[in-house]
Amino acid sequence: MAFTFCSSGAATFKAGEHVSSTILANATALDSYSTGVEGSIEQQTGLDFTTSYSSLSTSIKNLLTDVSSSMIAMDMISYDNTGYLAREADMLMNKNFDRINKGISALKNKGSDNLKTP
């Protein structure tokens, strides 16, 4: 099922103001991106977040939203980057890539689910 970890709006926001209107209007492509990203996150971490999603802590859900929306945004940018200003697409890709790497690392450790109250 697509868009378990994030909304299409979260991904669109991270894709930037100049994201292709063609990809924004293609619900099938966006669902496909989401499904692929969710599978990728689970395969990279070795954890089945989809099955246990409702019982996950808020912090893990937020991290899944951050990582998945960044991954989908990169797909959206890659679809057609001709509308972006000079180096804008590169900057957005780099920012999303950094968030993905840090997020996947935290999800792999799963220790981030053991947050203490300050």
What are the residue ranges spanned by the domains of the chain?
Answer: 8-110
Q: Give dist(CA 59, CA 9) in Å, integer.
A: 20
Q: What is the pLDDT of residue 113?
A: 58
88-109 and 8-15 helices, crossing angle to 10°? 130
- Cα-based angle 31, 71, 116 (whole degrees, multiple of 5): 110
pTM, rounded to two decimals: 0.92
The dihedral over CA atoms of 95, 43, 50, 10, expressed in degrees to the nearest 10, equals: 10
Q: Give dist(CA 13, CA 70) in Å, integer.
A: 9
Q: pLDDT tens-digit profile of 67-117?
A: 999 999 999 999 999 999 999 999 999 999 999 999 999 999 875 556 555
- pLDDT > 70? residue 22: yes
Q: pLDDT tens-digit profile of 42-78?
A: 999 999 999 989 999 999 999 999 999 999 999 999 9
Q: What is the pLDDT of residue 110?
A: 74
Alpha helices, DSSP H only, in the chain?
A: 8-15, 21-24, 27-45, 58-79, 88-109
Average pLDDT over residues 32-38: 97
